[in-house]
Amino acid sequence: DAGVIQSPRHEVTEMGQEVTLRCKLISGHNSLFWYRQTMMRGLELLIYFNNNVPIDDSGMPEDRFSAKMPNASFSTLKIQPSEPRDSAVYFCASSFRGFNSPLHFGNGTRLTVT
Amino acid sequence: GIQVEQSPPDLILQEGANSTLRCNFSDSVNNLQWFHQNPWGQLINLFYIPSGTKQNGRLSATTVATERYSLLYISSSQTTDSGVYFCAVGAYGGSQGNLIFGKGTKLSVKP
């Protein structure tokens, strides 16, 4: 049974470039979460979708960040334009019953913006 | 917002030893989960335990919601248990979908 699949595993880009991170949910899961992990701030929720609908995007840092779920099993997180302070590990997670069920994380994308 | 405190921040054990990790939280919760982040950065869900006790092999967890704490027990520790253990909580009335993560307990198990 495949877990949450994220791509790419590593991304190095220059300031000002567009970055797109991808996530495939576990089959049968209906909730999708994007988290960011940094040494300074730990794990922070960026946005939460339930049944493809964004429920809480209060953690999205600013307008440079956008997230979509074009279908029930796939999501993208886009940063445009990227800045060095966006460097972090970005995790996608899914659950089968929204907020109150176990969260399963992908392996993360390590983003470095130079 | 709800505060989550984990203790100890760092723990070094000899292989075979037992340990207890603690998570205190400042408000009522309707969601509590324990995660293990291994040295390769993978986050693994250990328990979904808003209340009560659960066991999975050498690991067990207990949440006493009325007293606002949860404990993670690791018995007969192995080197593969090394990594950071996170407690994450969701509060009643909190932002929907937002699990608040503690700073973690970094565990090192020596052979």
Of B41, B45, B104, the CB nearest to A103: B45
Our measurement of the distance from residue B93's CA atom to the centroid of its chain's CA atoms, rounded to an integer in Å, reads 22
Residue B98 C-alpha, separation from nearest chain A C-alpha, in angstroms: 6
Q: What pLDDT does B34 receive?
A: 98
Name which of A45, A58, A102 is nearest B33 (Cβ-Cβ): A102
B78 closest CA partner among B45, B41, B38: B38
Q: Under 8 Å CB-to-CB from A57, ≥6 apart: which residues?
A: A46, A47, A48, A67
Predicted confidence at residue B1, as pLDDT, reads 82
> For residue A46, what pLDDT band results from cuts at 50, 70 and 90?
very high
pLDDT bin (cut points 50, 70, 90) of residue A97 is: confident
Mean pLDDT for A22-41 is 94
- The answer to whether B45 contacts A33, with C-beta atoms less than 8 Å apart, is no
Q: What is the pLDDT of residue B95?
A: 56
- Residue in B31, B86, B101 nearest the CB of A100: B31
> What type of residue sits at position A70?
P
8-state DSSP, A9:
S
Mean pLDDT of chain A: 94
Q: Which of B38, B12, B23 is nearest to B89 (CA)?
A: B23
A55/B97 CB distance under 8 A = yes
pLDDT in tens, chain B (111 residues): 889 999 999 999 999 999 999 999 999 888 999 999 999 999 999 999 999 999 999 999 999 999 999 999 999 999 999 999 999 998 765 555 678 899 999 999 999
For residue B82, which of B52, B51, B106, B56 has the smallest C-alpha distance?
A: B106
